[in-house]
Every structure is written in structure tokens, then in C-alpha cells.
Structure 1
Amino acid sequence: MSEAASNIEWITASALIVDETGLHARPAVKLTKLAKTFEASVEIRGEAQERWVNAKSPNAVMKLKAAYNTPLQIRASGPDAAAAAEALADLVERNFDG
């Protein structure tokens, strides 16, 4: 994490990936589309991963390769950060509405 990122106030959430195929292309696109509806900066990572990725980038989200039963950590910063973190966690918990 960069020094600048450590000075940001983040709202956090987490949700368990329940899709047996993990965070593959279709759920990744749904997640990024939702993230893009918020002004807040939104980042995600798998629980065991150190690096956060931009939740508004389909490519970055797919590269996480988050597997089934992995807790997905979500953090957001900005004017609608709480709503963004909650909405993304809800989407994951609903199995990406699939």
C-alpha cells in the first residue's frame, strides 16, 4: 500500500464468495459495473492477498482469481463510500445475482 493510501479513511466490508467457480468473468463484470456507479474509490482483495486492486477495473478484478469460499475484502473512500462498500458486499453475498 502506498503512503498516500495509508492516509485515506477507508470504509470496509467483506463477503464470502459462494459461486463454486469463484470470481470469474461474469461476476467480475457485475462487480465492476456496480462499483463504477459510485463516486468513491473502491478497492478489493481476497482475504489472503496483500495487494488491493481497483474494483472499477474488470481486468484487475479478474486477475485476483478469488476462489470459491474466499472472503472478499472491500474498502471504499469518498463521499458515498459506505454505500459503495455495502452494495458490493451485498452483491457478493447474493452470488452476483446469478
Structure 2
Amino acid sequence: MDNRSRQQAPAAGDAQGYCQIEIEVTHGFGLHARPSVTFTRLAKSFPCTVEIEVNGSHVWLNGKSIVKIMGARIRRGSILKIRTRGLRAAEAIHALQALVERDFDEEKKHGRSA
């Protein structure tokens, strides 16, 4: 599993913190119900804003909204841009990136080994 990701440095002069990454979804079924819930729960655990853009659509969705994430129909091979702004933005972006890279921890939930 070779995830494509590129992290962009925090914007200069932004006191609140701003981070953005681009990453490919490699999970076999994309963000169906369980991975979407896992993603939004993690996003909600941070006080910063979390937004995603799918496949260069230029439409930013609330990454803490299960309705928005499920409605985006994110499939395997989709390219996500994830951006965070505010307190703990860098911590949030690293945690969300790691979750996507771990295929939303789906293997652990079903007792399967890689």
C-alpha cells in the first residue's frame, strides 16, 4: 500500500495555525459508513476546523460532518486535500493523515491482519 501524500508547510504569518495535505485513499471501499464515522470522530476531537476537498473539485466540505463526508462518495483512488485551521491544526492534520494511511483502522476492527 503506497499512499501518495504531500504535506504543505503552515502558512507564514498565520497565528492560528494552518496546515494542508494531499493524500490518496487506498482503502478498498473508500469512505463508506464505518471509515466515514471514524474520520469524523477523529476530526471532532480537535478544536480546529477540518475541511476536505475531493479530486480537485475546489469545493471544501466540513470534515466533521458525517453527512458531508458520506455524501462526497469518496472511493478508492480518490485524492483528498485535508486542511485544518486553528488550535492544534498541525496535530489534527498529522492524526487524520495517519488514519487515512492506516486505511481507517478497518483491519483492526474486523480482526484481520495485513
Give the match's secondary structure for 2:97.
helix
Gaps of 5+ in 2: 1-15, 107-114
Question: Residue in 2 aligned with 1:54?
Answer: 62
Map of 1:40 onto structure 2: 48
Q: Secondary structure at the match of 1:90?
A: helix
Shift of residue 10 of structure 1?
A: 2.9
Give the root-mean-square deviation of aligned CA atoms: 1.7
How far 1:9 sits from its partner (Å)?
6.1
More helix by share: 1
TM-score normalised according to structure 2 size? 0.74
State the AA in 2 paired with 1:17: V
Aligned to 2:93: 85
**How many correspondences in the alignment?**
92
Deviating above 4 A after TM superposition, structure 1's stretches of 4 or more consecutive aligned residues are none
Shift of 1:47: 2.5
Amino acid in the other structure paired with 1:35: A
Work out which of the two has the higher radius of gyration on C-alpha atoms and give 1 or 2.
2
Preserved CA contact (<8 Å) 2:51 2:61: yes
Q: Give the fraction of aligned pairs with identical amino acids, expressed as a percent.
A: 38
Structure-2 residue corresponding to 1:3: none
Question: Per-residue displacement from partner, 1:4-56 (whole Å, max 9, x unpaired)?
Answer: xxxx8631012211112111111110000000000000001212322111111
